[in-house]
Homo-oligomer: A and B are copies of this chain.
Amino acid sequence: MPVVTFLSDFGLRDEFVGICHAVIVQICPDAQVIHLSHGIEPQAIDQGALALAAAIRYTPPGVHLAVVDPGVGSERRALVLESGDGRRFVGPDNGLLLPATDACGGVARAVEITSERYMLTPVSRTFHGRDVFSPVAGHLAAGVDPAALGPQVDPAGLVRRLRPGHTLTGSLLAATVLEVDRFGNIRLSVTPGDLGELFQPGRTVEVDPGTGSRYYALCARTFADVDPGEFVVFEDASGFVSVAVNRGDAAKLIDVEHGRRVQIEFAPSFAWA
């Protein structure tokens, strides 16, 4: 059974996801659709790109449909990207697909979807998920060659988004909140590797979320290394530096959300631990 993974910002309140799923199955009846996430914030391309990149190496190779598409109805292109390892990514040309494609051997082939033969016509101006991307995903799963969908395009010309970075000034890190997950864990735009020897399990650090309050945390391997209710700075399951509270919700406690700039002082002048 060919696998189609599907990620979007459609949410699960409306019937959008169900319609797209149905369109895929109507074209490729034996497709196995795996819903990676539809909880991406509306139009949050970076969040969608991050989630897709985090998930992709756990999925069976197949067709990977992703729709976070604030530019629908404008001139932005619709794409199929074939990665170095043979996966096919389907979605808008807005940077959503590239971090995941990069993680799968880069873009081996890029095709702009132009052939109406593989769309539902007339194509609506606001729901290309239904009329363009899902039918193309279905046709790819059913064996259609990407070359049939439209002209090949230069991978160098694809829209690419800058990921937020970090700055390190002595022992002071400034990084951006990439994501707050359901448990309130705060993922920062930095990896332990970026921090070198500063990131040492056992060290007490000081977290400044820019709200006027500061919090001591233990740099550790996991939140179970501190007592319930205490803060921890650790490498999360996707390899990023994260701030959490053992058995608690760190984001609620320190009142930060996606996009906020957070500072961590790795050598505080005073610490209780």
Contacts and interface: CB of A to CB of B under 8 A. Distances in A.
Contacts of A5: 18, 22
A187 to B, nearest CB: 10
Contacts of A130: 58, 237
A1 interface: yes
A51 B182 contact: no
A167 interface: no
Interface in A10-44: 10-19, 21-23, 25-26, 29-30, 32, 34-39, 42-43
A215 interface: no
A80 to B, nearest CB: 20
Nearest to A71: B224
A234 interface: yes
Nearest to A41: B13
Nearest to A37: B15
A73 interface: yes
Interface stretch (A119-127, A140-148, A154-162): A119-127
Nearest to A249: B42
Contacts of A182: 9-11, 13-14, 16, 42
A34 to B, nearest CB: 5
Contact of A15 (B10, B13, B15, B54): B54
A222 interface: yes
- For A11, A52, A72, A120, the residue with the greatest tally of chain B CB atoms inside 10 Å of its CB is A11
Interface of A: 1, 3, 5, 7, 9-19, 21-23, 25-26, 29-30, 32, 34-39, 42-43, 51-52, 54-55, 58-60, 70-74, 120, 124-127, 130-131, 179, 181-184, 221-225, 234, 236-237, 247, 249
Given A14-B39, A18-B37, A73-B225, 6 more contacts: A14-B37, A15-B52, A26-B58, A26-B59, A58-B120, A130-B237
